[in-house]
Amino acid sequence: MRSFITGVGGQDGSYLAERLVAEGTEVHALVLSSDGTPPHCPPDVVLHEGDLGDIEATRRLVLDLRPDEVYNLAAISSVALSWEEPDRTAHVNGAAAVGLMESARRCGARFVQASSAEMFGQPTQAPQTEETPIRPVNPYGAAKAFAHLSAGVYRAQGQHASSMVLYNHESPRRTERFVTRKITAGVAAIARGDADHLTLGNLDARRDWGWAPDYVDALLRAARADEPGDYVVATGVAHSVRDFVAAAFAAAGIDDWEGLVRQDERFMRPTDPSELVGDASRAREVLGWSTTVGFEEIVARMVAADLD
């Protein structure tokens, strides 16, 4: 078995590479030359320098390697950044994802796309399912929607292409561009006496936060399933950013935290879905998937890692 992963430098790519190497799969991964050696990447992974956005070069590489399965985890992964670079987001998260799907089709490989709940925008239905209307409200969601819909198009043509609608999923490997790690790193700094406050944006946004390795498990199950499909991957429980902050301070043993948190317009977004929460019934029933770590434990593990 030979797998090809894009985005191995990110949280999910590193967990997926570890899983694949552990099961004895030959793993090849695309890495941006500017990124250097990806953190947490197992030494057995064969790294290929390149940019997913260079569709032709990536195609030559994939056709040369002829993998059995391709996981597309590379993306401009921040909604905030997608407002600053909407055209590059459209290219990398949209067009290049389809380019990779086409490369997988040409060599008969199974394809798994990391999609995002952001493509539902401001959903009127909660929790969201695979049938929820796709109405993104930011450039990130729009580009992800294009790739998601394209996976459906390829599937209809007989390709084993699955699209995984991943809700927020976290771990100590998250970068501080995401609110969870920003909070746990900030709380740890306050607990150590290295900072006296934490500055955030919208505290009322509600998100469905899961444990990243569980979401990687869903990607793997989709690749190996008899039939391809679209799957929502979520815990089904939403918490506010404020809840996350409270849980993080509690994990660090700080009860009276209100005065330690400031809000700043700089971290507010032009549009921000007020609540995203997913119903993963299909993934549970068809893929046998389940979550293994709950909200409080996720926060506690991230705070503990940052305190270390």
Active site residues: 116, 118, 140
In angstroms, what is the minimal distance from the CB of 224 to ligand GDP?
27
195 — alpha (psi -120 to 50), left (phi > 0) or beta? beta
In angstroms, what is the minimal distance from the CB of 157 to ligand GDP?
31
In angstroms, what is the minimal distance from the CB of 285 to ligand GDP?
26
Any idea what DSSP says for residue 196?
Answer: S
In angstroms, what is the minimal distance from the CB of 117 to ligand GDP?
8
Yes or no: say if 81 and 177 are a contact pair by the CB < 8 Å rule. yes
Residues making up the chain, counted from first to last: 308
Closest to ligand GDP by CB, 47 vs 179, is 179
Alpha carbon distance 121, 110 (integer Å):
28
In angstroms, what is the minimal distance from the CB of 2 to ligand GDP?
31
Closest to ligand GDP by CB, 151 vs 276, is 276
Give the residue among 159, 50, 170 at the shortest CA–CA distance from 101: 159
In angstroms, what is the minimal distance from the CB of 107 to ligand GDP?
32
Alpha carbon distance 81, 178 (integer Å):
11
Copy the structure tokens of residue 277. 């929460």
Closest to ligand GDP by CB, 238 vs 283, is 238
Q: What is the DSSP string of 89-147?
A: HIIIIIIHHHHHHHHHHHTT-EEEEEEEGGGG-S-SSSSB-TTS-----SHHHHHHHHH
Closest to ligand GDP by CB, 162 vs 180, is 180
Contacts with ligand GDP by CB under 6 A lie at 79-80, 168, 177-180, 182, 200-202, 205, 207, 241, 267, 269, 272
Yes or no: say if 163 and 100 are a contact pair by the CB < 8 Å rule. no
Closest to ligand GDP by CB, 109 vs 190, is 190
Yes or no: say if 233 and 280 are a contact pair by the CB < 8 Å rule. yes
Alpha carbon distance 174, 147 (integer Å):
23
Measured from each CB, the residue nearest to ligand GDP is 205
